[in-house]
């Protein structure tokens, strides 16, 4: 049975209880890593400058404490392949996202994914794809 690394546990522990419950369940069946929970000003603004976030501190769900946003990726994931737009690696990520959405719905936890901000299951109406991102509504 998969389980989180210490780093993932530390990151997830900065999140609100719904996100902790959801991903603590998910990881038992689908191995994944928690990349970010709460983000301080320095981290948030750096990610904004790198184009990895659309907002500066304190505009992100990651800037609340406990965090209302969490960034999670399937484990392992090959970032080089993602950057090369490798179809199978991207497919693997979207497969994980679908799994988490179903799990959240089953658990009665309302979440939004950065892969489908408006939650309409149409992925073509996105201005900013953030496959890692989950937030509570």
Residues at the interface with Zn ion (CB under 5 A): 69, 71, 133
CA distance 98 to 67: 22
Structure tokens at 7: 């780093």
Choose between 92 and 112: whose C-beta lies nearer to Zn ion: 112
From the CB of 61, what's the least distance to Zn ion, in Å? 7
* Angle (nearest 5°) at CA 17 between 13 and 19: 80
Choose between 18 and 71: whose C-beta lies nearer to Zn ion: 71
From the CB of 26, what's the least distance to Zn ion, in Å? 16
Distances (CA, A) of 43 to 19, 37, 40, 62: 20, 11, 5, 10
Choose between 69 and 74: whose C-beta lies nearer to Zn ion: 69
From the CB of 127, what's the least distance to Zn ion, in Å? 15
């Amino acid at each position: 049975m998969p389980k989180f690394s210490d780093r993932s546990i530390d990151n997830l522990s900065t999140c609100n209880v719904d996100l902790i419950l959801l991903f603590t369940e998910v990881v038992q069946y689908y191995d994944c890593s928690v990349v970010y929970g709460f983000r301080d000003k320095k981290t948030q603004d750096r990610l904004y400058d790198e184009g990895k976030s659309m907002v500066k501190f304190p505009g992100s769900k990651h800037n609340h404490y406990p965090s209302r946003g969490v960034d999670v990726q399937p484990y392992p994931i090959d970032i080089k392949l993602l950057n090369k737009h490798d179809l199978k690696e991207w497919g693997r990520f979207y497969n994980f996202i679908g799994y988490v959405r179903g799990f959240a719905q089953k658990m009665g936890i309302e979440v939004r994914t950065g892969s489908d901000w408006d939650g309409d299951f149409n992925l073509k109406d996105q201005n900013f794809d953030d496959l890692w991102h989950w937030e509570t509504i």
